[in-house]
């Protein structure tokens, strides 16, 4: 018979600190799946194309930093163990996206955004507050966040040069995973947010994308 270990609040805080370091420090974590890009051929890209792709991948990398923080904040304050476990599992899957994006950014001769610690802190706080309000709100926030991420990914896929199959493979797999997370969150009882809340989230996401494209 298996038993489930119960962690104290202090244990969970230490685990969150470890997760934050693994998210923010370069190459400090390991992917659970190989990057979809590794099976694709390198392409000859112009300087302008390389710069633009690096900016898009930097946005997506910061988005994954935010996702990690959001899930970890929600896992810290979630009421039901099954919801907490679902958040922690989703965070593990998102680590793959984080590392795939970081590797691609460096292949393009660039670096992740220096604003990542700021966005991590903000997202962690939002996640923790959502978890404190209720698991239903927390799950609804995940679903809407993932839906908006999918829209960003669709836009980025349209902007990628046809020759860049490496970045395309990464974003296509990310979109598939994110859509699954959104669907799972709603099926688990997530609240469907009203339009004003969705618009507010869209506005905040635009601040993130505009600032991290170059910085």
Q: Is 64 annotated as a binding residue?
A: yes
Tokens of 43: 């392409």
Q: Is 172 annotated as a binding residue?
A: no
Q: Is 97 annotated as a binding residue?
A: yes
**How big, in percent rounded to 5, are the helix, strand and coil portions of the chain?**
75, 0, 25
Q: Is 155 annotated as a binding residue?
A: no
Give the residue carrying structure tokens 């220096």.
114
- Dihedral of the alpha carbons of 193, 183, 24, 42, in degrees to the nearest 10: -130
Q: Is 89 annotated as a binding residue?
A: no
d(CA 156, CA 35): 18
Q: Is 49 annotated as a binding residue?
A: no
Residue list for the binding site:
64, 94, 97, 146, 178, 181
Residue list for the binding site for Fe cation:
64, 94, 97, 146, 178, 181
């Amino acid at each position: 018979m298996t038993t489930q270990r119960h962690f104290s609040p202090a244990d969970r805080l230490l685990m969150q600190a470890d997760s934050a370091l693994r998210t923010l420090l370069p190459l400090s974590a390991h992917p659970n799946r190989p990057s979809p890009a590794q099976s694709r051929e390198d392409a000859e890209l112009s300087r302008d194309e390389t710069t633009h792709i690096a900016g898009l991948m930097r946005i997506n990398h910061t988005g994954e930093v935010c996702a990690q923080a959001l899930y970890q904040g929600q896992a810290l304050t979630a009421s039901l163990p099954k919801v907490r476990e679902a958040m922690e599992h989703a965070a593990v899957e998102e680590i793959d996206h984080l590392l795939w994006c970081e590797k691609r950014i460096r292949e393009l001769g660039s670096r992740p955004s220096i604003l990542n610690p700021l966005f991590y802190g903000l997202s962690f706080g939002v996640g923790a507050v959502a978890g404190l309000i209720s698991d239903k709100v927390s799950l609804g926030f995940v679903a809407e966040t993932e839906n908006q991420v999918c829209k960003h990914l669709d836009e980025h896929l349209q902007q990628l040069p046809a020759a860049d199959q490496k970045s395309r493979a990464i974003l296509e797999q990310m979109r598939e995973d994110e859509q699954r997370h959104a669907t799972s969150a709603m099926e688990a009882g997530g609240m469907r947010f009203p339009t004003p809340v969705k618009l507010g989230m869209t506005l905040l996401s635009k601040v993130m994308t505009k600032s991290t494209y170059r910085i």
